[in-house]
Structure 1
C-alpha cells in the first residue's frame, strides 16, 4: 500500500526520515492499512491522537480500565483545552451508547483491557460509532496487528506502543498511529511535523529488526503461555487465570487461540498473596513493560501509589499478577511459576493459621 510514502519531505528530520518511512511502510503492510505514523513513544501516540483530532468542547468516552497515565493525560487536556471526558465502568456497547452526548467526538478503548483482560467487542462499537459519526480509536498494543486488526474491523484509528511486542527486545521506546482515513491522517501528520514527535532513525532501524521476527516470536510467546495455563489448570485448579483467548469477544475481534501473545494473568485471592508470589519468582523478573524476549511480571497491587488509583474500580483485582511469558524454555518458565505458587500457598496458609485465634 502506498499511503504516506508519497511526497515525503526528507529535507528536515522533524518532517520525515528514510529509515522511519521504511518502518511505516512495513507497518502498513502488516496492518493492511493506508497510513501509519511512527512517533517517539506510546504515550506520544495517545497525545498525538488527542491533540490532532479533538478540540475544545469535544467529548471523549474511555473505559476506566485503560492505562492510568492515559486518563492522567486526558485530565490534563480537559483542564487546559476544554476537552470533556466520560469514564465508564461497564464496557458493553450499550454502556458506551448511554454515555454519548451531542458533542461526543471520540471513543478510545483497549481491547481487551490491560491488565485485567476485560471484554470489549470492537465490531459492536464500530456500528455504534458509524451511526453516531464518532471516531473509534483502538489501542492495539496488547495484541499487535498480527493478532488483531481493528482497522479491518472498521475502527477509525489504531495506536501502539512499539516499545512492547512489536520491537520485542526491550531496547526501543516508540509508538505508531495508523488509519485509513485521509482526513484524519492529514491532521495527525501535520501535528507530528509541527510538534517534532517523529521517531528517531536508530529506534526505527531497531524496530524494523524486531518486525522481522514478530510472527515467530508471537508463536513462541503463545506456545509458552498455553503451557503455563495448562500447568496451572492441572496443578493449581483453584487459581483464577485470564488470557486473551478466554475473552468472550476474542473471535468477534479476529483473535484465534492458535496465535495471540504471551500475556496472561493470575488472580490471587489477596494482595498479600500476589506480592508473595512475585517475590518468590527467580527466572521471571518484575517489569512495568511487556512483550520482551524475557519473561516479565507485574503486580499492580504491590506498586500502585496509595490513593492514586482505585484498582477495583478499574476492574483490576488487587491480587492480579500480569505475566508477559517470554521466549525461554517452557519448562524453565513453568518450574519458576510452580515453585513460586507452592511457596505462596505455604506462606499464605501459615500466615492464616497464625492469625486464627
Structure 2
C-alpha cells in the first residue's frame, strides 16, 4: 500500500508528488490553513473552484472589476454548464446582498480588485455569506497569504497565481487553492487529480526556492513602493495614485502598511498621457504580470480599442497604469518614474499645441 488517508499516494504523479507536497505543506504554514492544492496556473485555480464547487443551476456573484479572464471563464460556464452569473458594479456588502438569489451558491472576489484597486471589505462579506449559507472565494494573488489571510477572516476558499510574488522570479507558472473545509478540499482534490491539473515538480521546486525569500522580497517591495509614493506626493501632488495598502478596508482586511506587495497604480487624466508615460520609462519594463524582482508596468488603455467602453464598465480608467514596484534601488526607480512623468507632460502639452 503506497498511500492511505494519513500518507499521500505518490504512485502516480497526477495525484501527488513529494516536491509538490512539500510546497503545499509550506504554503499551509504561511496561510495558516488546513488544506492547500498546487495546480498548474492561477487561472486553473479559478476554474478548479468553479468546476468543483458549482453545479448546473447554481448562481455566483462576482464584481465586474475582477480580472477579465475570470469573467470569460464564468461566461463559458454560463453558456455550457448552466451556471448563473450576476456581475455587480458596487462592492459594498449591501450590494452583494441585493444580488443574492435563492440559488446563489458562491461569491467570488478579489480584494482589492485587479487592476483598478477597488475596495472590498472581506469581513463584511464573510458575515453575509455565513448568514446566507454561501461560499466566499477570494482571489488573494494581489497580496499573497503573507500579507492578507482571508481564510483566517472566515472565507471558504482562497486562490493564488503563484506565478506572481509567491515565486517572485518570473520563471514559474502555477497556482494554489486553499481551504479549511474538508468537504471542499475533497471536491477540489478530486477534480484536480482526475483532470491532471497538478503543478509539475520542477515548478514546485522553483516556487519553494521563492518562498524562502518571500518575506525579504515583500519588505523590499514595500519600502520601494512607499518611496515612490513619497516622491509622487512631494513632486507631483496633483497626480492620482492607488495602492494595495491604501484602500478603505485595507487594515480591516489585515493588510499592514509595513508589509505588502508594493503594487501601485498611477491614474493619468487621459489615455494619451498614460501611453506617453509608459513609452518614456527606461528601467521599468512593460509586463502583463507582476510580482517579479524587476519593476514592471502595464497600461490597459493602450491595448483597448479606441472609443471602447470595456475598461469603463469594469471600473478601470483609460489612464490607469499599474506598476509592480521591484527590488531595484529606490532612487533608480524614482528617477525613471520622475523622468517619464516630466517627458509625458511635455509630450502632451506639445500635442495640444
Both proteins in one fold, TM over 0.5: yes
In the alignment, the residues of structure 1 paired with residue 305 and residue 289 of structure 2 have an alpha-carbon distance, to the nearest angstrom, of 17
Name the SS for the 1:311 alignment partner: helix
Counterpart of 2:159? 159
8 Å contact kept, 1:5–1:21? no
TM-score (norm 2): 0.98
In the alignment, the residues of structure 2 paired with residue 241 and residue 336 of structure 1 have an alpha-carbon distance, to the nearest angstrom, of 17
In the alignment, the residues of structure 2 paired with residue 188 and residue 304 of structure 1 have an alpha-carbon distance, to the nearest angstrom, of 35
Q: Go from structure 1 to structure 2 and tell me whether the alpha carbon gap of 1:206 and 1:305 turns closer, same or farther (over 3 Å shift).
A: farther
Counterpart of 1:77? 77
8 Å contact kept, 2:20–2:199? yes
Q: Go from structure 1 to structure 2 and tell me whether the alpha carbon gap of 1:56 and 1:70 turns closer, same or farther (over 3 Å shift).
A: same
Counterpart of 2:225? 225
Q: Trace 1:114-153 onto structure 2 (pairs within 5 A).
A: 114-153=114-153
Counterpart of 1:104? 104
Counterpart of 1:46? 46
Name the SS for the 1:252 alignment partner: coil
Counterpart of 1:15? 15
8 Å contact kept, 1:106–1:137? yes
In the alignment, the residues of structure 1 paired with residue 66 and residue 162 of structure 2 have an alpha-carbon distance, to the nearest angstrom, of 17
In the alignment, the residues of structure 2 paired with residue 8 and residue 308 of structure 1 have an alpha-carbon distance, to the nearest angstrom, of 50
Q: Trace 1:191-210 onto structure 2 (pairs within 5 A).
A: 191-210=191-210
Name the SS for the 1:137 alignment partner: strand
- Whether 2:311 is the aligned partner of 1:311: answer yes
In the alignment, the residues of structure 2 paired with residue 306 and residue 342 of structure 1 have an alpha-carbon distance, to the nearest angstrom, of 25
Cα deviation per residue 1:171-196 (whole Å; 9 max; x = unaligned)? 00000000000000000000000000
How many angstroms does 1:83 deviate by? 0.2
Q: Go from structure 1 to structure 2 and tell me whether the alpha carbon gap of 1:49 and 1:308 turns closer, same or farther (over 3 Å shift).
A: farther
Q: Go from structure 1 to structure 2 and tell me whether the alpha carbon gap of 1:68 and 1:307 turns closer, same or farther (over 3 Å shift).
A: farther
Counterpart of 1:88? 88
Name the SS for the 1:246 alignment partner: coil
Gaps of 5+ in 1: none
TM-score (norm 1): 0.96
Cα deviation per residue 1:229-249 (whole Å; 9 max; x = unaligned)? 000110011100011121000
Name the SS for the 1:218 alignment partner: helix
Gaps of 5+ in 2: none
In the alignment, the residues of structure 1 paired with residue 306 and residue 28 of structure 2 have an alpha-carbon distance, to the nearest angstrom, of 41
How many angstroms does 1:305 deviate by? 4.8
Counterpart of 2:334? 334
Q: Trace 1:58-69 onto structure 2 (pairs within 5 A).
A: 58-69=58-69
In the alignment, the residues of structure 2 paired with residue 125 and residue 6 of structure 1 have an alpha-carbon distance, to the nearest angstrom, of 34
How many angstroms does 1:303 deviate by? 1.3
Name the SS for the 2:323 alignment partner: strand
Structure 1 stretches of 4+ moved >3 Å: 305-309
In the alignment, the residues of structure 2 paired with residue 308 and residue 152 of structure 1 have an alpha-carbon distance, to the nearest angstrom, of 40
8 Å contact kept, 2:65–2:113? yes
How many angstroms does 1:7 deviate by? 2.6
In the alignment, the residues of structure 2 paired with residue 5 and residue 92 of structure 1 have an alpha-carbon distance, to the nearest angstrom, of 42
8 Å contact kept, 2:244–2:262? no
Name the SS for the 1:269 alignment partner: coil
How many angstroms does 1:9 deviate by? 1.0
Counterpart of 2:279? 279
Aligned residues: 350
Counterpart of 2:29? 29
In the alignment, the residues of structure 2 paired with residue 295 and residue 214 of structure 1 have an alpha-carbon distance, to the nearest angstrom, of 16
Cα deviation per residue 1:302-352 (whole Å; 9 max; x = unaligned)? 013568871112111000000000000000000000000000111111222
Name the SS for the 1:71 alignment partner: helix
Q: Go from structure 1 to structure 2 and tell me whether the alpha carbon gap of 1:16 and 1:123 turns closer, same or farther (over 3 Å shift).
A: same
8 Å contact kept, 1:5–1:25? no
Q: Trace 1:198-277 onto structure 2 (pairs within 5 A).
A: 198-277=198-277
